[in-house]
């Protein structure tokens, strides 16, 4: 289980609906929100600003697996479940193991300082989450530019498994954010999962 690293309590921006402008007058406006430890005064807040074209953006990764997993971003293990990523192509890589019979993967890639339709990518059976039951020959599969056309698209098979007593809240949290269950047919011993994505001035894609 991997969840966002939060150092302060931040009100849910989706509930506050602060961005009344809806970017009608300028596509480059971004609504940023900060936790209590991210500003010198020690109090969180929000800022509506122009996008800094070309600057790295903070990206959070949330993953829940009924088993064990290791998370990589562009082939590297992030210190926390976040990374500062430059504009351009990137890859979330997951190695899953110890999967029970009724296993499931839920995941979310999030731009926490944006509050619009392009701030989050969720696990869904749309062909963008691809996997292999065979261990890749090298680490290129975790990096942009890898040809994953021969990999298997993950599917949303069956009802979600019952949340486990210890970490079930994480599954429920991701489901509330719109993440859908991903799995594959059969019972793999291990699984290599790849989700390519792009960071741009308009958000995630």
Buried b (16+ CB within 10 A) or exposed e, 50-84: ebeeeeebebbbbbbbbbebebbbeeeebeebbbe
Report residues of the chain scoring pLDDT below 50.
Answer: 5-27, 50
Position 47 scores a pLDDT of: 56
- In 3D, which of 152, 162, 60 has the Cα closest to residue 107? 60
Residues with Cβ < 8 Å from 41, sequence gap 6 or more? Answer: none
**Phi and psi angles of residue 16, each rounded to the nearest 5 degrees, phi first:** -75, -30
How far is the C-alpha of 72 from the C-alpha of 196, rounded, in Å? 12
Position 98 scores a pLDDT of: 95
Q: Phi-psi category of 54—alpha, beta or left, where left has phi over 0 and alpha has psi -120 to 50?
A: left
How far is the C-alpha of 79 from the C-alpha of 21, rounded, in Å? 35
Position 49 scores a pLDDT of: 53
Is residue 181 within 8 Å of residue 155, measured between CB atoms? no
Position 164 scores a pLDDT of: 67
């Amino acid at each position: 289980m991997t969840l966002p690293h939060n150092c302060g309590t931040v009100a849910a921006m989706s509930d506050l609906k602060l961005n009344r402008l809806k970017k009608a007058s300028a596509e480059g406006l971004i609504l940023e929100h900060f936790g209590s430890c991210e500003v010198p005064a020690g109090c969180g807040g929000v800022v509506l600003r122009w996008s800094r074209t070309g600057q790295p953006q903070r990206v959070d990764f949330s993953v829940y697996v009924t088993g064990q997993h290791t998370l990589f971003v562009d082939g590297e293990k992030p210190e926390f479940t976040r990374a500062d990523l430059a504009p351009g192509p990137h890859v979330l890589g997951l190695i899953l193991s110890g999967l029970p019979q009724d296993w499931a993967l839920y995941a979310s890639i999030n731009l926490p300082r944006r509050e619009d339709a392009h701030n989050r990518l969720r696990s869904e059976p749309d062909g963008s989450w691809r996997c292999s039951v065979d261990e890749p020959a090298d680490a290129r599969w975790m990096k942009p530019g890898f040809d994953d056309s021969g990999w298997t698209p993950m599917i949303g098979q069956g009802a979600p498994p019952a949340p486990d007593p210890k970490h079930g809240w994480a599954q429920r949290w991701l489901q509330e954010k719109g993440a859908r269950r991903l799995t594959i047919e059969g019972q793999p011993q291990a699984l290599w999962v790849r989700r390519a994505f792009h960071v741009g001035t308009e958000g995630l894609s």
